[in-house]
């Protein structure tokens, strides 16, 4: 079998002779098969409009999944990312709309204020999650389920379930729907975020500490690593990335909505697991999410093109999530034998 010299998933591990990454190869093959199947059976698949739509949707998922993977690396997960997206959407659109109505000549001020408030609201959710998990030792499931309920309830309370319209045109047309260097603006932003997280994972002490915490929290603590700081920071980063996604989605659709991003929570977990993250922690490379996010987006796009009922799509995505988690567990079990 062809082999290459490659490091383990954890930074700092010694170089060994490993087979070519079968997981990445499998993702690439699945993508190729899916693309060829859709191209052969659905003429609309290759249209420029549909390709741009795929790029945008994959980028939204990629940003959220990147934050989710960072939390999973330290042995947790975040169920509140969808609610953080919705809350960021609602507060940003509300602030922008009201400021723009009061000061129509201050477009930049309205946009900046809306973005800052959205990111602060997302960071607050992450801070609550991180504090409860890191400082109080609460289980991530219960904590993030609670903040999901709080953030979602707040979003619906602010809007009464109605979309918020009236944001500056510059925010929607010149940013949310813009195309930079031939690709959607959100794709450029997603690539920059992924590149930054790759540098953190591979080139910084913080990245190495996060893998150590996820691999064995007791050993990390005995080695003098700041476990609480590592846990807290990952939950804040995860929520901030969800807030950025909320802003980008709001700019894309042109309104703030309390149910925005509700499907991205499960999809982000699925993309992270499919991209190699372990629910037990200690494993995961953010760059692999580019493939897994694109694969999930292509599946959803294919179901839309064939006009599959939305309820059936939800069932299919749920089955795929279970399958991905099962494969991840089998893969980890096989490496321990």
Region 167-180: what's the mean pLDDT?
A: 88
Residue matched to tokens 């739509």: 53
User: Which residue from 31, 48, 217, 36 is spatially nearest to 133, judged by alpha carbons?
Assistant: 217
Residue matched to tokens 């697991």: 273
Q: What is the total count of domains within the chain? A: 1
Residue 12: inside a domain: no
Tell me the residue range of the domain where 254 lies.
48-328
Residue 9: inside a domain: no
CA-angle at 179, arms to 178 and 181, nearest 5°: 145
Whether residue 90 has pLDDT greater than 60: yes
Are 123 and 236 in contact, with CB atoms under 8 Å apart? yes
289 Cβ neighbours under 8 A, 6+ residues apart: 62, 65, 66, 69, 194, 271, 272, 275
Q: How many CB atoms lie within 10 A of CB 300?
A: 20
User: Which residue from 246, 244, 245 is spatially nearest to 258, judged by alpha carbons?
Assistant: 246
Region 54-59: what's the mean pLDDT?
A: 95
pLDDT in tens, 258-279: 999 888 998 999 899 988 888 8
User: Which residue from 71, 119, 123, 74 is spatially nearest to 92, judged by alpha carbons?
Assistant: 119
Percent of the chain with pLDDT over 70: 91
> What CATH number has the domain bearing residue 129?
1.10.3470
> 3-class DSSP state for residue 50?
helix
Q: Is 221 exposed, middle or buried (0-12, 13-18, 19+ CB in 10 A)?
A: middle
pLDDT in tens, 274-323: 888 888 888 889 999 999 999 999 999 999 998 888 888 888 888 888 88
Residue 169: inside a domain: yes
**Average pLDDT over the chain, rounded to an integer:** 88
Q: Given pLDDT bands bounded at 50, 70 and 90, which one contains residue 328? A: low
Between 13 and 243, the higher pLDDT residue: 243
State residue 293's pLDDT score: 95
Give the end-to-end CA distance of the chain in Å, rounded to a whole number: 21
- Rounded CA-CA distance 77/140 in Å is 6
Q: Name the CA dihedral angle for 132, 273, 217, 238, rounded to a multiple of 10 degrees.
A: -40
Whether residue 14 has pLDDT greater than 70: no
State residue 317's pLDDT score: 83
Residue 164: inside a domain: yes
């Amino acid at each position: 079998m062809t082999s290459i010299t490659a490091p383990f998933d954890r930074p700092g591990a010694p170089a060994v002779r490993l087979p070519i990454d079968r997981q990445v190869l499998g993702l690439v093959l699945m993508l190729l098969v899916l693309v060829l199947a859709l191209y052969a059976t659905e003429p609309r698949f290759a249209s420029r409009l549909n390709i741009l739509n795929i790029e945008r949707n994959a980028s939204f998922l990629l940003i959220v999944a990147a934050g989710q993977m960072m939390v999973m690396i330290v042995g947790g997960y975040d169920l509140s990312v969808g609610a953080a997206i919705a809350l960021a959407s609602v507060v940003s659109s509300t602030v922008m709309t009201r400021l723009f109505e009061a000061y129509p000549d201050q477009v930049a001020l309205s946009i900046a204020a809306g973005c800052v408030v959205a990111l602060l609201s997302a960071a607050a959710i992450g801070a609550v999650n991180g504090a409860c998990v890191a400082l109080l030792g609460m289980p991530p499931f219960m904590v993030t389920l609670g903040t999901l309920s709080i953030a979602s309830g707040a979003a619906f309370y602010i809007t009464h379930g109605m979309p918020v319209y009236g944001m500056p045109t510059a925010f929607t047309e010149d940013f949310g729907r813009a195309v930079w260097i031939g690709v959607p603006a959100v794709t450029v932003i997603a690539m920059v975020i992924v590149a930054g997280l790759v540098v953190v994972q591979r080139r910084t002490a913080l990245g190495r500490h996060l893998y150590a915490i996820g691999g064995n929290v007791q050993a990390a603590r005995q080695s003098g690593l700041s476990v609480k700081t590592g846990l807290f920071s990952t939950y804040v980063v995860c929520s901030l990335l969800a807030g950025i996604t909320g802003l980008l989605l709001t700019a894309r659709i042109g309104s703030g909505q309390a149910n925005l991003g509700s499907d991205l929570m499960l999809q982000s977990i699925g993309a992270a697991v499919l991209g190699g993250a372990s629910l037990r922690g200690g494993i995961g490379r953010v760059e692999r999410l580019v493939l897994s996010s694109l694969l999930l987006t292509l599946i959803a796009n294919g179901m839309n093109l064939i006009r599959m009922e939305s309820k059936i799509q939800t069932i299919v995505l749920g089955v795929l999530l279970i399958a991905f988690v099962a494969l991840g567990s089998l893969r980890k079990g096989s490496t321990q034998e």
